[in-house]
Structure 1
């Protein structure tokens, strides 16, 4: 019996070990599966450089690990809340997906995963519950089971990857979700690597194309130089510079740059004769031995020789010696100017005259100090052509300066001749402005109370008639009149003096304006009587609320020149009615209501009723 129990215990222990081993094997298999998938992902990211190839490769890899015949990837931009379908493979909706806008994904399971940023396993019952709760909308063919995971870069979601099954016999489980999530987290890294490589290769291709185009252009330019077309392009450039509106110094520098492409023009200058032809000035001067040249009187240098000849000249050492013998130029230690010293040491000199209307105004010249270098006749032709354009540019500049002087002189004369007219116009304009101000003041004084600045009776009655006619046509726009009378005004005025009474009226008008709305109209009818026209009322209660607000403000003491004065106000209200035929009738009834308020004890408001008119008529008859 004891052996049997021992055997049973050993069998139980062996069973537990087997189960643990099976669990370890399953976990090892799961880890191996995940590791294999991740290695496959890494391999994909290392050799794929086109996004069009990346997503099908991901689909194939996922299909090897899971039931993923139906698979799609949607990227999401959190800043714009925009969804963009990147890849879609589905056995049922492959054709339908082309007619669905990308942002429709926001209302389905894809948008649900993106919003909550957590993986989701969803069967048909869970799907129906999400639809009933309003979390999602049904889209496309219903699947038996759906599994989706968020694609996140750090804490930021960038998309959703999902697979679904239309086979009710197949259901995804938590182990599948764990594997799919691991693949998804590393898919983002692989996605970034492929995109970077795609961008890099695109940039390399673009740069290679640019380099190829540049190389082709250079090859073409070399061929053009071989065929002599470079000279033509340069001459066109010189013509273009001459026609431009740039300043002369910029023009000289540009011409010098063009010359440097055809000859040794590192040492170049432009010399111009002054107005009386006795001196040379150097607006442009570049020399490797002399930083600048100053104005100087005419002498016997190369420059003066070209001016005398009025022709372009190429002077090499042999020609220079001959010209010295002929007395045309002077070279040697007797030269004193910078230009003479430069010309004396130059090994080759090239100069062309600048002509305006066949008259020489200066010279453009280049020179070389290099032994053995001689300018050619072709370079002489180029310089001769350049000199013509420089002369044209100088002529244009001189003409522009002359035109400017004429324009300034004309403007000065016009200014002088029209000074008196401007003064007269200014005087008339000031008079017109003064008259306008006077007219505006007269209009204001004629339509406003002088003391309070409120509208006076005349202006108020005019506005009342206009508003009354408008309300007759559009009765729905509520309107009412308030007739107001200050309590104890006569006592204040007689006891404290007229100046206190005036101050009391001014302060009263301010309190009235502070109690009414901006579009309401307040007026002083004279003495201590005021009238207010209330517009755009919703009901009679609005008028009563405003009247009560006015009464509350007038219950506060008035401080007038250190005198605290208590007063009040009585208000009669006449709401607009279609029974009224004239605006005067409204004003009359508001007045009657005001007197009724005074009769009841002052400091209150009363809304007009038809019986009040009869009471007033009886009172008038008794008097």
Structure 2
């Protein structure tokens, strides 16, 4: 076969241009459209192929040649996506298409238009391959360049939009007025799109009206009224009406807008070619509209313009709201400023009027006070002159008074720049006589004086004095009778008087007349008093002796009622009276505080029981005397009852002062007393309450001082405690704690904890001390110090002890081994029961605990309560093989004789003597410990040192011969289960 003939059969029947010429056409193409046309023309000229191109695939895809109205617009893009997917997957496209370029964004796909063309697969022809490769490279360059240009345009558009938004924000915060800002907004929108015709309208939902803030139109020059809201009914079915009602943007020609609105469309205003409007929204509600429109074909709008205007409209609304709020604020500020200015003017006028009134009132008070001052007449009148001079010009001033017979005019005070003092004169027809005759104020200048002279009311009498230019005189009235004149006058044109001065001087004259009357009355009264004084003195001498006798009796009775007969100190009644005065004084002077010291003599019952009541009374008298030496006047020491005393300190600027006095009392009472041939050591517990504004009654103050005293006694006596809010809260919580204790007993919340007693040499456990703990449901495990004081005061201590003894014996039965023992702490209250030993032994047997392994711990105060009864109980327990241990030895008051008297097995050295032992041990503590060890050895008693916390203390005790010990060094108190493991 002829190759040429075969080749001719494979070639299409239409003309084909040379390949080199086609490649040159492709390289010369300057845009994608030209490139697509060259590719299609190079393949064949019949339009059997289409080229689908996109610079941002699959967006902005275009088809070449363009589709006709009969073609499916989506078919080429779908075919191109199918070809591209197959090529990217490494397969051959089914339709015969070819991907000319593909970088993910820039994509060009060549598609056959007909199935027959696809079947022939002409794109695989060697002749087409160079052209297609060149076309792919060139298309990639052109599409990439188009994408870059599009990005540049988008960046430029974004920059313009950003600048526009910044400009809108700056304009909203500027000091431009609303019209200027609206013109600026128009210019900003015009920089983004065609906006030669532009308006902004705000919608008022309440009135259903639209107010056009800005309107510029090149055709419709009349436009709406910018100052008058327009009802929405007048715009019904118009484009702006639909914009507000439908709350969505509208864009296009009138025909296009008819398809976008929800009803019939009426034309309002001039007909345009293109119209774009967006609603201004806030929280889903339409607040207004922004509209641009075009009357020329060059000003048509696109979807990008609609989106851009919608975005800008939000910022325009924000700017309008800010400007409106700013103008409203400025209006309110201006209105408020105007109101404040008016109020200020009124207040200033009131202030001036009040200052004048206060000045007048001050002068009147001063004049009134002068009537009570025992000064000579000249000094009295001079003070009146000064008081009047503070109100009006009184440089020339005089007072004229009628004589007692009413025939002469006297001048007791006269000050004048021109004339000297005037002597008394008979009544004539002068100005002063005219005022007295008429009884009214007279205000004259030269002209008025001439008229009075012409009328014959006054006479121009030469030699009486220099004629003044201005004269003002007012009558002095005494019970509606004129007694004189007070007058001022001026010789200068600059110092004239007016009606206000006359009214003011007349007002002052009433007070001056009253002062004169009181002064005259006082003088008459002094004369009468002088006459009565002698008679009063005579009568006084007669009554003085009677009063003296009565006062002596009353003082004696009052002393008996208000004082304690034993000590001679004030009693509770007297103290309450002084406290009420102190509370009242604090109300008058809040800075002058006081303090109440409430004290109780420690162990006074012991003195009475041991030495007798006569000796107890002597102790109270000695305490009273020492308390009196610790205070100063006007402080008070009072005896309230028994051994209770109180000290009232009148002046306590700071609480430290009361504390110093309390310490002084402690020091005074600590000195030995010699009573009934014995040397006694006394002390006191003191509670202090500082008087301040919170105390309205004496009972409250006494209560708080008593609370502080109770706290001092609970803390160990021989100390003072200052009351504060925490003590008050603790006192209030006592009832709550007592209630919880009762519930705890019912719910069995108390449990025993055990602390080991060990040998100091090898640490072997010789026994356990049972200690009570309260497992509180909310506060956790509580130590005895947190609840036992309340339990003791409320009478629940014995019930708690018996409950703890029972549980300790039950737990100890399994814990205490052979040769070991368990100790129980017994409070003094239990020894008041003569059958305590019987109950304790019965409890131990019931719990299965062997009595021989049980020891009880007692304190020295327990031994001193009722020594005989305690000794009998301890003796019976020892016979039942229950030994006794003396706890906290050395801290109580017993003598060594008591140690020998009672049947004791063991002594426990108090932790206060163990704590100082160590490298730099206290010689005093070591000497006491050595003495206790020697005493115990001589009596055959076991010794246990308490509170051992360090190895240094342990070695020190070993060196002194101590065999047994107890403390945190060997173990803290824990439940029995802890030690069994």
Q: TM-score range by the shorter chain?
A: 0.3 to 0.5
Higher helix share: 1
TM-score, normalised by the number of residues in structure 2:
0.24
TM-score, normalised by the number of residues in structure 1:
0.37
Indicate the structure whose relative CO is greater, using CA pairs within 8 Å and at least 6 residues apart. Answer: 1
Q: Which has the larger radius of gyration?
A: 2
